[in-house]
Structure 1
Amino acid sequence: MSLMQLLAQELVDITIDFLHDDKPSLRACSLVCTRWVNSAHYHLFYGHRVEARHDQGGYAEQFKKPSTDPLRSYIRELTLAAGPIHSLSPELTEDIVVLALERLPRLRSLKLRQTGFITPGLLAESRNSYDLERLSISWMYPSIPGSGHSLVSLLSMFHTVRVLDLDVIHHKHLSGSAVSSADSGDRSLRSLRVQTIQLHDISEALITSIQATIRPEYLQAIRASITATDDIQHLGTLIRCVAPCLQELQISLWNFWCGDRADWKTLQLMCCTRLRCVTILYANCGPFYNWYTVLDILRVVPASVEEVTLVIREVRCLDTVDWDRMNAELKRFIRLRALRFALCTGDTFRYRTIGDKAQELIRTALPEWRIKGVLW
Structure 2
Amino acid sequence: MPLLVMLYMNSITVDASPIRLSSLRPGFAQGHCKTYPRNHRPTIPSSQPLPTSLMITVCVHDSIIQPKIPPSIPAASPQTILPQELIDIIIDYLYNDTYSLRACALVASSWSGRSQQNLFSRITLTGRPWPDKPNGRTSAELLLRLIESAPHTIPNFVQHLEIIEGDVFKCDRWLGQSIPALDRILPVLTNLRTFHINFSYALWRDVPGIHNFLLSASKLPDLHKVTIANLADVPSWDMLFTLLEGSNVANICLEDVMTCALTDSSQTYVPGSVRIPLETLSLSLASDELWRFSSWLADPSCFLQVAGLRKLRIDILYSQEMKVFPRLLETLHMSSLQVIEIRLEALNSADADHLPDISRFRHIRLTLTPEGLRCGSEGWISASVAAQCWERLLKNFRENVIETVTLMLPKVHPDKFPEVERMCWVALDAALTRADMSHLRRVYLEDESSQGMGYRDAVIKDILPNLYERGLLVF
Question: Secondary structure of the equivalent of 2:81?
Answer: helix
**Structure 1 254/122 Cα, relative in aligned 2: closer, same or farther at 3 Å?**
closer
- The residue number in structure 2 matching 1:347 is none
**Structure 1 258/104 Cα, relative in aligned 2: closer, same or farther at 3 Å?**
closer
Question: Secondary structure of the equivalent of 1:27?
Answer: helix
- The residue number in structure 2 matching 1:206 is 293
Partners in 2 of 1:340 and 1:2 — Cα distance?
50
**Structure 1 112/354 Cα, relative in aligned 2: closer, same or farther at 3 Å?**
farther
Q: Is the 8 A contact 1:130 1:157 kept in 2?
A: no
Match for residue 104 of structure 1 among 189, 192, 212: 189
Whichever residue aligns with residue 218 of structure 1, its letter is G
Question: Secondary structure of the equivalent of 2:163?
Answer: strand
- Which of structures 1 and 2 has the larger relative contact order (alpha carbons within 8 angstroms, sep 6+)? 2
Q: More helix by proportion, 1 or 2? A: 1
Aligned residues: 355
- The residue number in structure 1 matching 2:313 is 223
How far does residue 110 in structure 1 lie from its aligned partner after superposition? 0.9
Partners in 2 of 1:152 and 1:21 — Cα distance?
40
Match for residue 364 of structure 1 among 462, 470, 475: 462
Unaligned runs of 5+ in 2: 1-77, 129-133
- The residue number in structure 1 matching 2:428 is 326
More divergent stretch after superposition (157-166 vs 308-317): 308-317
- The residue number in structure 1 matching 2:442 is 338
Unaligned runs of 5+ in 1: 143-147, 345-350
Q: Is 1:60 matched up with 2:141?
A: yes
**Structure 1 200/303 Cα, relative in aligned 2: closer, same or farther at 3 Å?**
same
For 1:244-294, what per-residue CA distance to the aligned partner results, in whole angstroms no more than 9, with x for missing partners?
A: 222221111112425955321xx232344xx22333337464688633321
- The residue number in structure 1 matching 2:249 is 161
Between the aligned residues of both structures, percent identity stands at 17
For 1:192-227, what per-residue CA distance to the aligned partner results, in whole angstroms no more than 9, with x for missing partners?
A: 222112222242123445675753322111221112
Partners in 2 of 1:25 and 1:352 — Cα distance?
28
- The residue number in structure 2 matching 1:145 is none
Partners in 1 of 2:304 and 2:452 — Cα distance?
36
- The residue number in structure 2 matching 1:175 is 262
Query: Structure 1-normalised TM-score?
Result: 0.79
Q: Is the 8 A contact 2:360 2:401 kept in 1?
A: no
Q: Is 1:36 matched up with 2:99?
A: no
Q: Is 1:4 matched up with 2:94?
A: no
Partners in 1 of 2:188 and 2:156 — Cα distance?
9
How far does residue 49 in structure 1 lie from its aligned partner after superposition? 0.9
Q: Is the 8 A contact 2:238 2:263 kept in 1?
A: no
How far does residue 338 in structure 1 lie from its aligned partner after superposition? 2.5
Match for residue 295 of structure 1 among 387, 391, 394: 391
How far does residue 160 in structure 1 lie from its aligned partner after superposition? 1.2
Query: Structure 2-normalised TM-score?
Result: 0.64
How far does residue 48 in structure 1 lie from its aligned partner after superposition? 0.5
| CA-based RMSD | 3.6
Whichever residue aligns with residue 440 of structure 2, its letter is L
How far does residue 69 in structure 1 lie from its aligned partner after superposition? 4.0
- The residue number in structure 2 matching 1:77 is 160
Question: Secondary structure of the equivalent of 2:325?
Answer: helix
How far does residue 352 in structure 1 lie from its aligned partner after superposition? 9.1
For 1:66-85, what per-residue CA distance to the aligned partner results, in whole angstroms no more than 9, with x for missing partners?
A: 38241221011111111179
Q: Is 1:280 matched up with 2:362?
A: no
